[in-house]
Structure 1
Amino acid sequence: MRRFQLLSVCALLVGLVAGAGADEAAADLNWAGCGITKKAFMAELAKAYEAKTGINIGIAGGGATKGIRNAAAGNIDIGGACRTSLESRDDERNAHQIPVAWDALVVVTHNDNPVDNITFEQLKELYLGKITNWKELGGNDAPIELYARRGKLSGVGRTLRELVFNNFNQEFETDNLMKSSGPVESAVEKNPHAIAVTGISSAKKRDFKILKLNDFEPSYEHIKTGEYVLYRPLYLVTQRGASDQKVKDFIRYAVSEEGQKIIRQQGTVPYTEAMALVMKQLDQYDKATKSGVYQTGAGSNI
C-alpha cells in the first residue's frame, strides 16, 4: 500500500506541474498544521503567492495531526504535515497528501556542549535509556536530560519511531515530555545537559548546536543525496476529492518550478530535486512492513 501511495504521488506531481498555469484564484485560503513545515517554507511560499495573485493565505500552527485531520474534515482549505496520514483512523482516511519538500530530523544540544557527533546506534540507546551520561558520548561527566514530544502521533515522534526503531509504539525513556516541538527546542537552548530531536527547518532558526549523525552534517546536499539518513517528506494536505479551484491552483503553484525555487531559497530541499529519495523510502517501507512496524503502529495514540 505504501509503495503504491508513493508512486501515485509521483505521477500526481507530474500532472500538477504540467497544469501550473491555471487561472488565478480570487479568494482567501486557510492553512494550519505542522510547525516545522510552516517554518520550512510555508510562510514564505504564502507571501510569494499573495504577491503574485493577491490571495492571502491565513497560517496557523497546531501540529501535523491537526493539519491532517482538519483538512480531511474540510475544516481548513489546506493542511501541513510532516508525517503520513493513517488509513486506520476514520478522521485521517479522507486526507489527500501532496509531498512538496524534504525535511530532516536532527539531534540538537546546548551550544556549550562539547559533543559534535553522535552515531545512529547511540541515538537509539539514548531513547532506550541505555546511555544516560554525556561522558558516554565523549562529553562531560554530567547526566543527559532527554526531551521529547508527548504522545506518538506528532510528526517528529512518529518519524523518529519509524526511522530509528521500526516501531510506531516505541516508548521513550524520559520524563521530559513536551506538548510540541517549540517547548522542546526552547528547553535545549537553555539547558546545558539537554538533548533532543527536532526538524532541521525549525532547528536552523534556534540558538543551539546541531550534531552530526554518523559523521554527516544535515546539510542541503547530504539530505538531498540521502547520506544523512533521517530524512522525511513535508506535505500539503487537502480533503480527498476536494474540487475547490483555489486550492488546486495553490497546490500547482507549490509544486511548480517557481514554488519549488522559493522552497529551495529557504534552505529546504524541494521534493522534485531529490526524487531518488523516493526509492530509498520505498526500501524503508518494505523493511518496516516486513518487521511489522505498520501493523504495530495502527493503534498508536496521541
Structure 2
Amino acid sequence: MLFNKKIMALTITAVLSAGLLAGCVSKEETTTEEPSLAEGSSSKIILVGSTSVDPLAQKLAQAYKEINPNVEIEIQAVGSSAGIKAALDGSATIGMSSRELKDEEIAEGATPLVICKDGIAVAVNPENPVQNLTKDQVQKIFMGEISNWKEVGGNDEEILVVSRESGSGTRGAFEEILKIEKEVEGKKISGLIANALQAEGTGAVKANVASKANAIGYVSLGYIDETIKTLQVEGADATAENIIAGTYPVARPFVFVTKGEITETDQTFLDYVMSAQGQAEAEKDGYIKVK
C-alpha cells in the first residue's frame, strides 16, 4: 500500500513538472521581436508635425497596424514647430520634427527620439541644364546674391526661389546647414530672399519646382521622383550612401517628440519604430537608419 502511494506521488509530480515545462515552452514560442500590445487592447496614437516626416510616419503606422490592428493612429502634417508644440501641450501624443529640438523646447519638457536621418535635396525643374552647385552658390541663390541661372552655368533666366514657410523644420534645417541667415541687432534671423515663393508643405515645394522651369527649391529624400531634378552639392548626389559617407552636406534628423511619462500604447509604437523591422521601413525609402 505504501509502495502504491509512492508511485502515485511520483506520477503527480511528473504531471505537474510536464505542465510547467509546457507552459515555459509556450511562452517562448509566442515571443516575437515585433513589439505588440496585449490582446484585446484598443488605443489611439496622435502624431502631429513635420510634413517631411509625414510620408514615413504613414508607412510606419500602416506596418504597425498589421501587428496591432486595434490601435487607431491619426497623423496630422502641420510642420515641425507645430508638432513640437502639440507634444508639449498634450494635443498630440507624439510630435514629429525634421530638425533638432531647440534648447528652450527641451527646457519645456520635450524629449527627442531620432528615428532616422534624412538628406535635403536641392531640386530644380527637369529642363534646367545645371547639374552641380557648391554650398556657397546655394546659399547665395537663396539669399538673392545670385539671381540669374547664367551665373552658375545655366540659361540666361531669372531664378525663382521656392522655400518652405516660416516654422518649417525642413526650412530651419536647410537654412542652418547652409547659413542662409543674417544678423539684426545681434540676433540671427532668416536670410531668405524677400521675394521667395513660400509654399506650405514639401509637396507644394515639389509641385512648384516641377511646374516652373526656372525654379529652385528643396525637398526631403522621400519626396524625390521623376517630376523634379536633384542637383549635386559639392559634387555629391543626394543619396543615403553619400550622407553616411559625409560627402553630401545637406542632411538632418527625423525626430519623434514626447513629453514626460507616455502611455504603453505610445511606447510600444516607438519600440516598433526603433526595432529592426521599423528601421527597415525607413531604409526602404532611402532614409538612413539609426539602429
Counterpart of 2:282 in 1: which secondary structure?
helix
1:79 pairs with 2:95: yes
Q: Measured at CA, do residues 166 and 107 of structure 1 come closer, stay the same or move farther in structure 2, by a change above 3 Å? A: closer
Structure 2 residue identity aligned to 1:200: L
CA contact (8 A) 1:103 1:231 kept: yes
Q: Measured at CA, do residues 89 and 43 of structure 1 come closer, stay the same or move farther in structure 2, by a change above 3 Å? A: closer
1:60 pairs with 2:73: no
What is the number of equivalent residue pairs in this alignment?
A: 249
1:266 pairs with 2:266: no
Measure, in 1, the Cα distance between the counterparts of 2:257 and 2:226. 27
Measure, in 1, the Cα distance between the counterparts of 2:105 and 2:241. 36
Q: Which residue of the partner structure matches residue 216 of structure 1?
A: 236
Measure, in 2, the Cα distance between the counterparts of 1:61 and 1:28. 17
Measure, in 2, the Cα distance between the counterparts of 1:143 and 1:159. 26
Measure, in 1, the Cα distance between the counterparts of 2:209 and 2:149. 15
Q: Which residue of the partner structure matches residue 249 of structure 2?
A: 229
Q: Which residue of the partner structure matches residue 5 of structure 1?
A: none
CA contact (8 A) 2:159 2:216 kept: yes
Note the residue ranges of structure 1 that are not aligned, 5 or more in a row: 1-18, 273-302
Structure 1 residue identity aligned to 2:284: Q
Q: Which residue of the partner structure matches residue 104 of structure 1?
A: 119
1:28 pairs with 2:44: yes
Q: Which of the residues 162, 173, 191 maps onto 2:176?
A: 162
Q: What does 1:233-252 align with in structure 2 at a 5 Å threshold?
A: 233-239=253-259, 241-252=260-271
Measure, in 2, the Cα distance between the counterparts of 1:21 and 1:181. 31
Structure 2 residue identity aligned to 1:192: A
TM-score by length of 2: 0.79
Measure, in 2, the Cα distance between the counterparts of 1:134 and 1:262. 38
CA contact (8 A) 2:50 2:96 kept: yes
Q: RMSD across aligned C-alpha pairs, in angstroms?
A: 2.1
Q: Which of the residues 185, 189, 207 maps onto 2:206?
A: 185
TM-score by length of 1: 0.77
Measure, in 2, the Cα distance between the counterparts of 1:139 and 1:21. 52
Measure, in 2, the Cα distance between the counterparts of 1:205 and 1:250. 29
Note the residue ranges of structure 2 that are not aligned, 5 or more in a row: 1-32, 182-187
Q: Which of the residues 172, 194, 205 maps onto 2:215?
A: 194
Measure, in 2, the Cα distance between the counterparts of 1:248 and 1:163. 32
Question: How far apart are 1:179 and its partner, in Å?
Answer: 3.4
Question: How far apart are 1:28 and its partner, in Å?
Answer: 2.2
Q: Which residue of the partner structure matches residue 20 of structure 2?
A: none
**More divergent stretch after superposition (173-182 vs 262-271):** 173-182
Measure, in 2, the Cα distance between the counterparts of 1:147 and 1:172. 10
Q: Which residue of the partner structure matches residue 163 of structure 2?
A: 148
CA contact (8 A) 2:210 2:228 kept: yes
Structure 1 residue identity aligned to 2:85: R
Q: Percent identity?
A: 24
Counterpart of 1:169 in 2: which secondary structure?
strand
